[in-house]
Amino acid sequence: MSSEPARPGPVRHHDRGIWLAGFTGRMLVVCPGCGGRALVTPRPGLPGPRNPLFEPRRLTCGGCGAIAEWTAEQRGGALVGVVPGGTEDPFFRRPLWLQTRCAGRILWAYDEEHVEALAAYVGARLRIRHASPTLGMFARLPAWMKSAGHRDEVLAGLDTLRALARRSAPADRSDAAHARGDRPRHHGSLLFRGGPY
């Protein structure tokens, strides 16, 4: 039994089937130049809406000024997209800034919005699914994150990620935020045929 008081949380969480790709619009990563916090976003000035798994991206660091560009590879008439998931961003393959050790594993998120969505789900006492049981992000969370026995520990880990999101210096980097190459599937395994968008 946890010595910390139970955290108040929502009584219910309604799973509408949001995909993890829905959180890739803004990703906090470790800068390849200085090791501080950098930001990965869709490249500005492109017409929308676009598929987030193929959309050109830009990495920028406010600390050292590093900039990088990513564009989906083309193979014949198909674009090769990314597969979100794991402790690296799917575009530049940089370690995520928001990582911490939790319940003997690594808890990660792309940005503050992702942290809040996870906290709402984990903190709920009743979880109601309104979507496919296999396609949504919450249905695919690992069992240890869904377990009531780990609820307080996961919520504390999410509090740690909230605090990390407000920091940006290289010295603020979590000891968990380093390259591990633990992507769940081969990078670039999605193909989109029939033109760029």
Q: What is the pLDDT of residues 40-51, one digit of tens each?
A: 999 988 877 688
The span from the CA of 67 to the CA of 60, in Å, is 5
In a domain, 123, yes or no: yes
pTM of the predicted model, to two decimals? 0.83
In a domain, 186, yes or no: no
In a domain, 42, yes or no: yes
Which residues 6+ apart lie within 8 Å of 139 measured at CB? Answer: 15, 129, 131, 132, 133
Which residues 6+ apart lie within 8 Å of 152 measured at CB? Answer: 2, 4, 6, 7
Q: What is the pLDDT averaged over residues 114-139?
A: 78
In a domain, 23, yes or no: yes
Quote the domain boundaries for residue 49. 12-176
The span from the CA of 90 to the CA of 103, in Å, is 24
Q: What is the pLDDT averaged over residues 30-46?
A: 94
pLDDT at 13: 60
In a domain, 191, yes or no: no
Domain count, the chain: 1
pLDDT at 164: 97
In a domain, 120, yes or no: yes
Residue 185: pLDDT band with limits 50, 70, 90 = very low
Q: What is the pLDDT averaged over residues 72-80?
A: 87
pLDDT at 107: 96
The Cα-based distances of 38 to 32, 54, 67, 119, 161 in angstroms read 8, 20, 9, 23, 15
Helix (H/G/I), strand (E/B), else coil: 84 = coil
pLDDT of 129 strictly over 90:
no
182, amino acid identity: D
Q: Under a CB-based contact definition with an 8 Å cutoff, are residues 10 and 124 in contact?
A: yes
The span from the CA of 79 to the CA of 69, in Å, is 16
Which residues 6+ apart lie within 8 Å of 167 measured at CB? Answer: 37
Residue 136: pLDDT band with limits 50, 70, 90 = confident
Give percent of the chain above pLDDT 70. 76
In a domain, 182, yes or no: no
Kindly report the average pLDDT of the chain as a whole number. Answer: 83
* Candidate from 119-133, 140-154, 181-195 with smallest mean pLDDT: 181-195
In a domain, 6, yes or no: no
